[in-house]
Amino acid sequence: MANEVILTAENIHVAFADRVIIEDASFGIHAGDKLGIVGVNGCGKTTLLKVISGILRPATGQITTRKDLKIAYLQQDPDVDPNCTVLNHVIPSDPKIRKEEHHYKAMLTRLGMDLYDTPLGILSGGQRRKVDLAKELAHEPDLLLMDEPTNHLDLDSIEWLQDYLINTKSALIFVTHDRYFLDSICNRILNIEHTELFFHEGNYSEYLRGKLLREQDKLRKETRRQAQLSKELAWLARGAKARATKPKNHVDRVKELLSKSYLISNQDLDISFQTDRMGRTILELHNLSKSYGSNTLFENIDHNFQPLERIGLLGPNGCGKTTLLRLIVGEEKPDLGSIKVGINTHFSYYKQEEDSFNPTLSVYDYIAQYAESIRSADGTRITATEMLNRFLFDAKMQQMKLSSLSGGERKRLYLLKSLMFGANFIILDEPTNDLDIRTLEILEDYLDAFKGCLLIVSHDRYFLDRTVDYLFIFENGKLRKFAGNYSDYLLVKRYEEEEKVASTQTKIMRPKQAIKGLNYNEQREFALLETEIENLENKLNLCEEKLSERGLNHQQYEDLAKEIASLEARHDQAFSRWVELSEKEQDL
């Protein structure tokens, strides 16, 4: 039953040292819930998932689940044995819950992973993510917990996963920065703010509409408060004599108004830095090719970048997107071709993984080692302390060790380091991983106003739609250039796929009308076979169309595969008999 309560949390309190993460939270999860968790980095989203999964015990409070509730938890970066093979990783070690091997192979195949005997240690990040996803989805849990499930996945896999989760009967609780993903799947939103949990009915769009109404209501209350405060302050300005004529509680009322505000507004990130002007030559790519051993990533890539070009790179995991970025900034060399960088072109390269991370450094020391001051877009010199404040790192957080920060807080810090030197060509490799939605919105606004070139690798469809107007799409080692954003490309891609299916559908040879030379019974059988073959072909086409649809669960996938096999066997038998009768007629 969709309304059945499958999990309850009572008075959950979680703290790390003197930092309270979740304070006295109580809530329930229903069987039909698809709950998306949002909040700023470090607010406790991952912590809450760990508490629900049982990995982390709260300081106080308890979690109660329905009897025999099956829970699966996809962590952001689970620990695995690098020598374990893909299939062995996905198959549970407990024989009580283990299913037939084909069940796990089917789930891997649907995620585009058929490397069953490959060790996990040599897989790419995207391939590892698919394997981890297959492991949890194949478990077919009653409650599925996911922490940033779209991280490292290619866009086709994200589209498939989105459709799968829309149609699954499992209850879902997940953390994601992907706003399209949230909007399509959720029927509830949980916002964690200042250690408190706030639940909202509906998807992400409905949550934003409700948030807007709540902020408008706060604004009205604040306007009234300001009007009353102005009146009281005017009275205070009359002097001690006037104040003496008023009762003491009037003064207390002013103090209350001064200390209270309905608008505790979120601090915005200010990331406007001084940039250099570009020259006539920006960046030229000439016939670039790159391989690793026998694996050819891409060939003959050509492009001359123009001022203010904003390009997104798309393609499946392992196609060479990050490699191309590394070639551009000089971290790798092409096998063939050349790269010409303009004299006045200065890159800012935000990598997927920060390679200079020292956990013993404080937040302040991490930034100060690169620059203790920098110039903003208006030419004002600002200190490292001020820069960090603008990036939501207050004085207390600036003294924290990097090892104490959440993954998202470290990413935000790395973003500051990557952007603060005022480059005029920004290269971002999966910048949305681990960043909270609020930081992403500010980053998007910054990139809107950025007066330079932009080259982005991202699996975040909303982020691509907001920031780029041109796409480079890796297709079988070649680069396809597309004028438009991701939603434009998706529309064209689906149209092309439909056209391809329509043009390549071939009909199996139809039997001709019954002919002379056969006896009456054979002529009748011949005619019936023609109708039977046509009906079987129609059924096969229908099943194949269903099989290509998104959102099929594992059982539906297996049922269709069995039906297709049965129909093909019947078709082969009928067609063989038709050929036999046809040859007999010709012999006569």
Tens of pLDDT, residues 171-214: 999 999 999 999 999 999 999 998 999 999 999 989 888 888 87
pLDDT at residue 70, rounded to an integer: 94
224, 259, 294 - which closes a domain? 259
| Same-domain check for residues 467 and 577 | no
* Residues 479, 579 within the same domain: no
Residues 247, 293, single domain; the answer is no
pTM recorded for the entire structure:
0.67
Regions of the chain with pLDDT less than 70: 1-2, 221, 224-225, 227-276, 354-356, 376-378, 504-517, 547-555, 557-558, 585-588
Does 219 lie in the same domain as 128? no
Residue 247 confidence (pLDDT):
46
Contacts of 269 (CB under 8 A, 6+ apart): 390, 391, 392, 439, 442, 443, 446
Asked whether the beta carbons of 195 and 214 are under 8 A apart, the reply is no
* pLDDT the model gives residue 64: 94
Distance of CA 388 to the CA centre of its chain: 27
264 is a domain residue: no
**Per-residue confidence (pLDDT) for residue 582, from 0 to 100:** 76
- The SS3 of residue 380 is coil
Would 528 be classed as within a structural domain? Answer: yes
pLDDT attached to residue 264 = 39
H or E, element range at 154: none
Q: Is residue 78 part of a domain?
A: yes
Q: What is the largest CA-CA distance in the chain?
A: 128
Q: Residue 285 pairs with which residues in a beta bridge?
A: 303, 339
Name the domain count of the chain: 4
Q: What is the pLDDT of residue 182?
A: 92
Examine residue 466 and state whether it is found in any structural domain, yes or no.
Answer: yes
Q: Are residues 408 and 532 in the same domain?
A: no
- Which CATH number does the domain housing residue 303 bear? 3.40.50.300
Let me know whether 328 and 431 are in one domain. yes
Residue 169 lies in a domain: yes
Backbone region of residue 240 per phi and psi (left: phi > 0; alpha: psi in -120 to 50; beta: other values)? alpha
Helix extents (H) in 260-377: 321-328, 363-368
What is residue 515's predicted lDDT score, i.e. its pLDDT? 45
Give the residue among 529, 515, 527 at the shortest CA–CA distance from 587.
515
234 is in which domain, residue-wise? 208-259
467 and 385 share one domain: yes
- Name the helix (H) or strand (E) containing 172: strand 171-175
Answer yes or no: do 461 and 556 share one domain.
no
CA distance 129 to 123: 9
pLDDT digits (tens, 9 = 90+) for 472-501: 999 888 889 988 888 888 888 877 777 777
Domain finish residue from 447, 476, 494: 494
Same domain, 143 and 233: no
Q: Nearest-CA neighbor of 42 among 354, 412, 385, 388?
A: 412
CB atoms within 10 A of CB 267: 12
Residue 571, both tokens:
């078709």
- 202 and 178 in one domain? yes
Shared domain check, 163 and 76: yes
What is the rounded distance in angstroms from the CA atom of residue 53 to the CA atom of residue 71? 7
- One domain for residues 391 and 243: no
> Is residue 275 in some structural domain?
no
